[in-house]
Chains A and B, each alone.
Chain A
Amino acid sequence: MAVDAKIVAQVAHLARVEIDDASVAGFATEMTNVLDLAGQMDEVDTSQVEPMAHPLHAVQRLRPDVVTESDQREAFQSQAPAVDGGYYLVPQVIE
C-alpha cells in the first residue's frame, strides 16, 4: 500500500494534526514502509480466527451508581489554556 501526499493530507485532517509541507513526503514514505510491514500479516489465512481486542478474557465490572465526586473546577481549570466564568474557551464555533 503506497501512501501518497494526498492520503497523508486526508489522514492528517482526520486526526487534526498539522503537517508542514516539507515533511509530507517523509511521512508518506514512512507510512508506506510501516503499512508494508503490516502487509506481512496477509501471509496467514485468518478467516477462521476471532479478532482479539483484549489479552485476558475478562468481562466488564460494574460500578455502583453513587456520586462520590465533588466540584474541583478550580483545580482542573488551573491547567487550562483559556477559561472565563467557569467555561473553557475556544475560537468561536459557527453552527
Chain B
Amino acid sequence: MQWETVIGLEIHAQLATRSKIFSASSTQFGAEVNSQANAVDLGMPGVLPVLNIEAVHMAIKFALATNAEIGKRSVFARKNYFYPDLPKGYQISQMALPIVGQGTVEVTLDDGVVKTVGLTRAHLEEDAGKSVHDLFHGQTGVDLNRAGTPLLEIVSEPDMRSAREAVAYARKIHSIVRYIDICDGNMQEGSFRCDANVSVRPVGTETLGTRAEIKNVNSFRFLERAINFEVERQIDVLESGGTVVQETRLYDADNDETRSMRSKEEANDYRYFPDPDLLPVVVEDSLIEELSQSMPELPEARCGRFVSEFQLSEYDAGVLTADRATADYFESVLATSGASAKLVSSWIGGELFSRLNKDGLELPESPVTADRFSGLMSRIHDNTISGKIAKQILDHMWGSDADVDAIIDREGLRQISDSSEIEKMIDDVIEANPSQLAEYRQGKEKLLAYFVGQVMKASRGKANPGQLNEMLREKLKG
C-alpha cells in the first residue's frame, strides 16, 4: 500500500516581552531559580492577572505578517489540569475566540516550489514552569521562573505532506517571528518549540488517519528526524494489522525515536471556560492601522526588492533575506561601504558565514559588526587591499576590535599600486629568471602565472593584481 503522510504543527513562540503576560515579573532567561516568580506567577491566593499590552501587539503583528484574521474580540479561557509546574491548576489560554484567526504562509521548498500552508489560528497563553527530576533524591523540584511567560501558540492546518515540508514551514514561521521581532527564536532555550501532529493514510483517501502528537523537539534537524521516525512507525503498525493510538509521544534525540508518554495517557478533560478574572480583549481598527504602519518589510518583499534593486540572484537574495539580522547587516554594509551588492553578498554568504559557523555563532553575536565589516568592504572596493589580503584581515578583525585600516597599517598590508614600485619588482623577477623568460617568449604563455606568482611573492601579496598582470604582460613582450 502507498501511504500519504499528513502533518500539522503547533508552534509555541515565546514572545519577546520584558515582563510576563499577566504580571510585572521579568522574563529574562537563566535567572536564579524561582527568583522571577512573583505572587501572580506563583498563583498565590487572591492575586489577579492583568494583560501585557506588548503581548497583544505582538500577536497582532503576527496576524499582519501572515495575512491572518485578527480576532477583534478575543477571550481568555482557563485550561484546567493539575501539574506541579502549573501553579494555579489551570493555564490561561484562549479557546473559542483566539486573537489570531485563519491565515496563510508561503513556504519555498527545496526544489523551489512555493507551497501555501494554512494557519488555523494563533492564540496567546502563559507558559508553565519547569520541573527538575534529577536534582533531588526521590523528589521533583519546581522552578516557576518561566511560569507566566507569554506564548503565541501558532497552529497550522494539516497541510504538510513530508517531514521536509514540515521543517520548511517551521523555518518559515521562525523567520517571520524573528523578522517582526516578536520572538528571539532560540530553540535551545525553548523560545521556539514545535509539536508535530503526524498521521498517515492510504494515498487517494480523504479522511485523516489517527494522529500522534510529538512533543519535545528542540531543533529543526530533530523535527525532521522525529517525524520520519514516527511516519515509519505508524506505517509499520498499520501494515502489520495494528491501529495507531491517539497519544502524545516524546522525541528522544539520543535514540532517535519517539516514545509514548504513558503518564499522560489518561483522557484529559480540561474543562475550558472563560477566565472570569479577565475581560474580553477588544482590538480597535486604529490599533491595527498603527501596528501595520510599524511592520517591517517581510522576507518575500525584501527578497524581491534585493533582486530588483541590487540585481542579486534569486538564490543570493533568498539567503540574505531568510533572516532579518542578515538582511539588515547586508543593507547596512552596502549603504556605508560603497562596495557592490555582488561583492558584499558574496563576502557575507562566504567568508563571514563560514567563520560564524565555525565558531557556532549567530550573526548578531558576530565579533565583526556591520560597521567594521563595511570598512573591510570599502578597502576592497577602493583597491587598498586585494580579496586575498582581505581574508587575512578579516581573521585579524575576528580576534580583536581593531578596525580595518589600523590592521592594514599595523601589518603593512596596504596594496601596492605605485607603478614604479611594481615595475621594479617585475624587473627583479625577470632578471632572476632568464630561462623562463626565454621559454615564455618562445610561446609558452602559461608561464605568465609563474611570473605573477613570483612578483606577488616578492610583494608579500600586496601588489595590485590587475596592475601587476597588465604591466607584466608588457614587460614580458620585451
A40 at the B interface (CB under 8 A) = no
Binds B, one of A1-9, A25-33, A42-50, A59-67: A59-67
Q: How far is the CB of B365 from chain A (nearest CB, A)?
A: 24
Query: What's the least CB distance linking A67 to chain B, in Å?
Result: 5
Question: Knowing A77-B34, A86-B33, A95-B261 touch, does A66 contact B140 (C-beta < 8 A)?
Answer: no
Select from chain A the residue with minimum beta-carbon distance to B274: A53
Residue in contact with A62 in the complex, picked from B33, B51, B138, B142, CB distance below 8 Å: B51
Tell me which residues across on chain B come within 8 A of A16, comparing CB atoms. Answer: 82
**Chain B: which residue is nearest A93 at the CB level?**
B140
8 A Cβ contacts from A38-95 to B? 53-54, 58-69, 71-73, 76-77, 82, 84-95
User: What chain B residues lie within 8 Å of A89 (beta carbons)?
Assistant: 136, 139-142
Q: Are B53 and A76 in contact (CB under 8 A)?
A: no
Query: How many Å lie between the Cα of A66 and that of B20 in the bound state?
Result: 9
B54 touches A65 (CB 8 A): yes
Q: For the complex, is A14 an interface residue (Cβ under 8 Å from B)?
A: yes
Which residues of B lie under 8 Å from residue A68 when comparing CB positions? Answer: 19, 24
Do the beta carbons of A94 and B263 come within 8 Å of each other?
Answer: yes
Assign chain A's interface to a size class. 20 to 34
Chain B at the A interface: mostly helix, strand, loop or mixed? loop
Chain A residue with Cβ nearest B266: A13
B269 x A87 contact (CB < 8 A): no
Q: CA of A85 to CA of B34 in the docked complex: distance in angstroms?
A: 10
Query: A15 CA to B207 CA in the complex, in Å?
Result: 36
Digit string of B124-163 for contact with A (CB within 8 Å is 1, else 0)? 0000000111011011111110000000000000000000
Task: Say whether B282 contacts A90, CB under 8 Å.
Answer: no
CA distance A64 to B19 in the complex (A): 9
Given contacts A62-B56, A93-B140, A76 and B282 within 8 Å (CB-CB): no
Closest to B23 in A: A69
The smallest C-beta distance from A85 to any residue of chain B, in angstroms, reads 7
- Inter-chain contacts of B51 with A (CB < 8 A): 60-63
Determine whether the beta carbon of A65 is less than 8 Å from that of B52: yes
**Which among A14, A63, A90, A94 has the highest number of chain B CB atoms within 10 Å?**
A63
Q: Across the interface, do A92 and B140 meet the contact criterion of CB distance under 8 Å?
A: yes
Contact, CB under 8 Å: A95 / B39 = no
Contacts of B44 in A (CB 8 A): 76
* CB–CB A76/B140 < 8 A: no
The verdict on B338 contacting chain A, using a C-beta distance below 8 Å, is no
Chain A residues, Cβ within 8 Å of B37: 73, 76
Inter-chain contact A67/B53, CB cutoff 8 Å = no
Assess whether B50 is interfacial by the CB under 8 Å rule.
Answer: yes
A59 to B72 alpha-carbon distance, docked (Å): 12
Contact call B32/A91, Cβ cutoff below 8 A? no
User: Out of B18, B38, B136, B261, which one reaches A66, CB within 8 Å?
Assistant: B18
CB pair A91 B24 closer than 8 Å: no
B135 touches A85 (CB 8 A): yes
- Known contacts A61-B50, A76-B39, A95-B263; is A84 also within 8 Å of B34 by CB? no
- Residues from chain B with a CB closer than 8 A to the CB of A77 are 34
Q: What is the minimal beta-carbon distance from A80 to any residue of chain B, in angstroms? A: 9
Q: Are A88 and B279 in contact (CB under 8 A)?
A: no
Interface string of B40-62 (1 = CB under 8 A from A): 00101000001111111000000
Contact between chains at A85 and B282 (CB < 8 Å): no
- Kindly state whether residue B104 has any CB partner on chain A within 8 Å: no
Q: Which residues of B contact A90 (CB under 8 A)?
A: 84, 139-140, 142
Do the beta carbons of B33 and A65 come within 8 Å of each other?
no
Name the contact of A85 in the complex, choosing from B33, B84, B276 (C-beta under 8 A).
B33
Given contacts A86-B32, A93-B263, 18 further A-B contacts (CB under 8 A): A16-B82, A53-B276, A60-B51, A60-B278, A60-B282, A65-B17, A66-B19, A68-B24, A69-B19, A76-B39, A76-B42, A86-B35, A86-B143, A87-B136, A88-B34, A89-B136, A91-B139, A92-B140
Closest 5 pairs between A and B when the two form their complex, measured CB to CB: A87-B141, A62-B53, A65-B54, A86-B33, A71-B35
Interface residues of A (CB under 8 A from B): 14, 16, 53-54, 58-69, 71-73, 76-77, 82, 84-95
- What are 26 contact pairs spanning A and B, CB under 8 A? A53-B274, A54-B279, A59-B279, A60-B278, A60-B281, A62-B52, A63-B51, A63-B52, A65-B53, A65-B54, A71-B36, A76-B39, A76-B44, A77-B34, A84-B136, A85-B141, A86-B143, A87-B135, A87-B136, A87-B141, A92-B138, A93-B131, A93-B133, A93-B140, A94-B263, A95-B261
